[in-house]
């Protein structure tokens, strides 16, 4: 026993490195153009503080003992109730507070949903390109990922779904507006996905972290209006982007109260309760910051227009999708995605993420794609980004 080797979990060691952290190391280890300041477009996180009125409310909440003690595992009752009211109004469907669970960010909401419905050896369908943290959690859990190709307009290819399903397949996961592509899935696609999962006894998990920044106002879909949604539908959301609360880690899951009874077991073991200060901030946002959120949406939509208008005459480059926080670019040349990223850092001091971080390693199409998080920079910086890209020698 004295010579016994200390072995780590193969599931964890075989899981990919967090892409954003890896990208930050590229900055630390790589060479930048000293004539240009770093333009970091790798992460979709607000870089500004919350609005002053929200900061003031957070300060006030510090005086309450409830801001510093354990709370309900599934979240503050006041916040769950407010979510049920807001979502009922938005989606024109009845959602009860006991069908809402507050989580420590939307990533934890996803981890919770998967822990409820799947076990090691099961299979989950992810459209390609996928959100990398979803893939990481499934790898950590020993759950097989079934890649679903997307159509040319970057919506899930519904015609290929049936080929992926067997007795071990448990769910289809969608992100809309999409990360990394920014694509807003049509109501028709979402409805067909709902019909498919119902016919095949699967769950449908839809991550709507960026729903507040859609190009169209109103309900993103009618899934909550389907009479038996509680049997198969799980909705995820994050307050992080909407109210600039990324560090406070507040998200949510809406599902059947039967499933949330099991969610409570998972959440009690990993966090006990969500951050009470963050929850109170989210509650304030829902009750008081409609105008702020509407203005934020308008700014991001304007930035998207600025990007589309200025992304011209850039050799071998094109925008193949954009929306919410992201633009998804395609580069038509022989350079690998990694080489392109390195060249952009070296010559333009600009960091974007390669598409290879968002799908299977063997998918050669991802070698030509890149994610740009444009929502957190001003219009002038978007123009500067386009100019930097245009001035690089892409021979």
Residue pLDDT, tens place only, 294-352: 999 999 999 999 999 999 989 889 999 999 999 999 998 777 888 898 889 989 999 99
Q: What is the pLDDT of residue 294?
A: 96
- pLDDT of amino acid 200: 96
What pLDDT shows up at residue 2? 62
Take residue 327 and report the two structure tokens written for it. Answer: 């633009």
Model confidence, pTM: 0.94
Q: What is the pLDDT of residue 136?
A: 96
In the chain the domains, ranked by start, together with CATH numbers, are 10-49+292-391 (3.90.1150.10), 52-289 (3.40.640.10)
Q: Where are the beta strands (DSSP E) in 301-395?
A: 317-323, 326-331, 350-351, 353-354, 369-373
Look at residue 332 in the predicted model and tell me its pLDDT: 87
DSSP helix/strand/coil, 340: helix
CB of 146 within 8 A of CB of 125? yes
Pairing of strands 326-331, 317-323: antiparallel
* Residues of the chain below pLDDT 70: 1-2, 395
Strand order in the sheet with 353-354: 317-323, 326-331, 369-373, 353-354
Residue 27, pLDDT score: 79
């Amino acid at each position: 026993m004295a010579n016994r080797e200390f072995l780590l979990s193969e599931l964890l060691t075989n899981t990919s490195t967090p892409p954003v952290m890896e990208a930050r190391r590229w900055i630390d280890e790589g060479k930048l153009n000293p004539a240009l300041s770093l333009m970091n477009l790798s992460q979709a996180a607000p870089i500004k503080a919350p609005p002053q009125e929200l900061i003031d409310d957070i300060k006030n909440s510090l005086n309450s003992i409830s801001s510093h003690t354990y709370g309900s595992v599934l979240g503050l009752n006041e916040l769950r109730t407010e979510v049920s009211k807001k979502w009922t109004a938005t989606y024109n469907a009845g959602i009860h507070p006991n069908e809402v669970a507050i989580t420590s960010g939307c990533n934890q909401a996803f981890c919770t949903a998967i822990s409820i419905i799947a076990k090691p050896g099961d299979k989950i369908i992810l459209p390609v390109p996928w959100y990398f943290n979803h893939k990481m959690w499934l790898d950590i859990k020993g759950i097989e990922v079934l890649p679903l190709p997307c159509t040319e307009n970057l919506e899930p290819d519904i015609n290929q779904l049936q080929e992926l399903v067997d007795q071990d397949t448990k769910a289809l996961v969608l992100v809309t507006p999409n990360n990394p592509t920014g694509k807003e899935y049509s109501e028709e696609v979402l409805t067909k996905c709902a019909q498919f999962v119902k016919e095949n006894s699967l769950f449908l998990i839809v991550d709507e972290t960026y729903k507040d920044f859609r190009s169209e106002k109103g309900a993103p879909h009618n899934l909550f209006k389907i009479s038996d949604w509680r049997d198969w539908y799980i909705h995820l959301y994050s307050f992080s982007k909407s109210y600039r609360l990324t560090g406070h880690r507040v998200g949510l899951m809406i599902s059947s109260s039967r499933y949330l009874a099991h969610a409570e077991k998972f959440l009690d073991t990993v966090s006990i309760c969500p951050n009470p200060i963050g929850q109170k901030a989210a509650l304030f946002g829902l009750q008081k910051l409609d105008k702020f959120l509407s203005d934020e949406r308008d700014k991001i939509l304007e930035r998207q227009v600025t990007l589309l208008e200025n992304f011209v005459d850039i050799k071998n480059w094109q925008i193949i999708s954009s929306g919410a926080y992201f633009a998804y670019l395609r580069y038509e040349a022989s350079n690998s995605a990694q080489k392109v990223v390195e060249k952009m850092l070296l010559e333009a001091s600009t960091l974007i993420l390669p598409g290879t971080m968002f799908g299977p390693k063997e998918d050669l199409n991802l070698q030509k794609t890149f994610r740009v998080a444009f929502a957190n920079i001003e219009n002038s910086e978007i123009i500067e980004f386009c100019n930097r890209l245009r001035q690089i020698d892409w021979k």
